Amino acid sequence: MVAYSGEARSKFLEAIKKVKNGGIKEEVEQLIEEANTSLNLAHNSQTKLLAKEAEGEEIDLGFIFVHGRDHLMITILLKDILEFLMDIYKS
């Protein structure tokens, strides 16, 4: 979860920089697509753990899980901000 979220975050930040600097639309879209793929993998990792716990399996939630969850939530917020910024720069 941490690695996938971190990868998505890096791609979203790179896309934001390209949008800000008037980057080529196709390059920005490619970065966003790659970031979304990693973000989905991170989200799926979290969902698998939640499903196991919902099925009654005892899940030991350590610091790495909490850290991964933080990464995931921040990356989802960054995605939302990127979409908002893209609308602004298109105007």
- pLDDT, mean of residues 3-27: 90
What pTM value is reported for the model? Answer: 0.84
- Give catalytic residue positions: 67
Q: What is the domain range of residue 7?
A: 2-90
If one counts the domains in the chain, the total is: 1
Distance of CA 52 to the CA centre of its chain: 22
* Mean pLDDT computed over every residue of the chain: 89
CA atoms within 13 Å, Cβ hemisphere of 16: 15
Q: Which CATH number do you get for residue 41?
A: 1.20.58.80
Give per-residue pLDDT as tens, 49-79.
Answer: 889 888 998 888 788 888 888 999 999 999 9
Alpha carbons 69 and 48: distance in angstroms, whole number: 13
Please count the other Cβ atoms lying within 10 Å of the Cβ belonging to residue 28. Answer: 19
